[in-house]
Amino acid sequence: MAAAERGCGRLPLALLLLAASASASPRYAPDWESLDARPLPSWYDEAKFGVFVHWGVYSVPAWGSEWFWWSWQGQRDSKYEEFMRQNYPPGFSYADFAPQFRAGFYEPRKWAELFEAAGARYVVLTSKHHEGYTLWPSSTSWNWNSMDIGPHRDLVGELGAFLQQKNIRYGLYHSLLEWFNPLYILDKENNFTTQNFVQTKILPEMVDLVNRYKPDLIWSDGEWEAPDTYWNSTEFLAWLYNDSPVKDQIVVNDRWGINTGCKHGGYINCKDKYRPTTIPKRKWEMCTALDKKSWGYRRDMDSSDVMTDLEIIQELVFVVSFGGNYLLNVGPTKDGIIPPIFQEKLLSLGSWLSINGEGIYASKPWRVQMENTTIPMWFTLKQSVVYVFYSDWPQEGMLPLTSPVPTNVTRVSMLGVPGFLKWSQASVDQGLLVYLPQLSPDILKMKVWTLKLEEVK
């Protein structure tokens, strides 16, 4: 980072050497070999579940998706042109939506309470999406930020303060590209041989975000049109890992250039809604959205577009059994309300996690990830305890497990149900047949149940 280098340049060499030897952590070079070797801070893998929040000026038209501006004036999709003709006066520009982004009912305390009740251990907020509007008073986004126009509030900072009180980690989504930024368009016309946009906009604003809000995670996006060398990604990450105020806890994803996805960075997202079929070599995260058709809030959402409780829990269990984290998105309205249907989904996941989270948080993948027999099952491991998740109730009340090999001290129980369950074994080296208990209605309605297999010596 230019600023940091200049700062160091003024220090006498002796002092620099002293500082280097006094610090225990290694220094990272601005190349992927060095950056990729950094161990991922352990909080991230242990967290397992986070809530993603897409909020911005697109929450004002709230129609189609958060790509509204691009669909309308980039692609010139006739559906969007028609929508504008029908609903807004001629000459109405995208920027004219911003004053209506009022966030009048935004109560970040209530958001934080909801995310806590949902069982989220981290939250990722779009500090800036591809439209370029910043949800914090960025000095490099003049008149296109939440303090100058719209809410007249620091939306990023306010949420961060309440999450911190609840010990929920804070991630900031940040889009590198800005569809209609003239500086970006110019660099693009120069085939990214010039970096004016990166030097005057992107690097200063990312450093500002980090220094101001000290996030735990930077969720980078909008990288796909240019290589990492254009974005100065390795230089930024070296600063982040070596010298930034968050160098010990910061976690980043893999979207740092057209050539980095699935390969480089902290953990990998690969593509949106990524579903690996085997355990990836690196820590990974599946990001997905409660509204199957959009990340930002849209008024044209139907209840059938929203994931069901069962889909959500099954997906979480699948992701965690394959060693991933699950980042589930909600889109608040322009007023700052998280739509009640999303609240309901989050709360019902939270109530499931309050019983079954024991087998989720801080777990590791087991020797087997899933059994796709008549009743599909997923497994996780914590210390020497194996957790088995299944979402179908066998008619005879007996559940056959093929993969676990029991011993004469194996104890089986079900999370949320007191006591141990009876089990039997057809023959040595075979799995177990577990005799399931009668369930109380509140446990029965969970839809995905967890068995706990432990060796009680």
**Interface residue list for ligand NAG (CB under 6 A):** 1-2, 190-191, 203, 229, 232, 235, 372, 408
Shortest Å, Cβ 74 to ligand NAG: 20
Q: Are strands 423-424 and 417-421 parallel, antiparallel or unpaired?
A: unpaired
Q: Are strands 417-421 and 410-414 parallel, antiparallel or unpaired?
A: antiparallel
303 vs 408, which CB is nearer to ligand NAG?
408
* Of 2, 13, 25, 457, the residue nearest 241 (C-alpha): 25
Q: How many CB atoms lie within 10 A of CB 354?
A: 12
* Of 42, 26, 50, the residue nearest 251 (C-alpha): 42
φ, ψ at 14 (rounded to 5°): -60, -45
433 residue type, one letter: L
Q: Which residues contact 342 (CB under 8 A, 6 or more apart)?
A: 290, 291, 306, 330, 331
282 vs 411, which CB is nearer to ligand NAG?
411
321/275 Cα distance (integer angstroms):
12
Shortest Å, Cβ 78 to ligand NAG: 29
146 vs 244, which CB is nearer to ligand NAG?
244
Shortest Å, Cβ 57 to ligand NAG: 29
75 vs 229, which CB is nearer to ligand NAG?
229
Q: Which residues contact 17 (CB under 8 A, 6 or more apart)?
A: none
Shortest Å, Cβ 193 to ligand NAG: 6
Shortest Å, Cβ 225 to ligand NAG: 13
- Tally the residues of the chain: 457
60/102 Cα distance (integer angstroms):
9
- Decide: 364 and 382 in contact? Cβ < 8 Å: yes
* Of 308, 349, 305, the residue nearest 327 (C-alpha): 349
203 vs 289, which CB is nearer to ligand NAG?
203
16 vs 186, which CB is nearer to ligand NAG?
186
- Decide: 334 and 294 in contact? Cβ < 8 Å: no
Shortest Å, Cβ 229 to ligand NAG: 4
Q: Describe the crossing of helices 203-213 and 233-242 by its angle, rounded to 10 degrees.
A: 20
Shortest Å, Cβ 372 to ligand NAG: 4
341 vs 368, which CB is nearer to ligand NAG?
368
Shortest Å, Cβ 446 to ligand NAG: 20
User: Beta partners for 325?
Assistant: 285
169/44 Cα distance (integer angstroms):
9
Residue 327 three-state SS = strand
Shortest Å, Cβ 114 to ligand NAG: 31
143 vs 191, which CB is nearer to ligand NAG?
191
71 vs 195, which CB is nearer to ligand NAG?
195
Closest residue to bound ligand NAG by CB: 235
318/169 Cα distance (integer angstroms):
23
Q: Which residues contact 372 (CB under 8 A, 6 or more apart)?
A: none
111 vs 318, which CB is nearer to ligand NAG?
318
52/128 Cα distance (integer angstroms):
13
Shortest Å, Cβ 7 to ligand NAG: 13
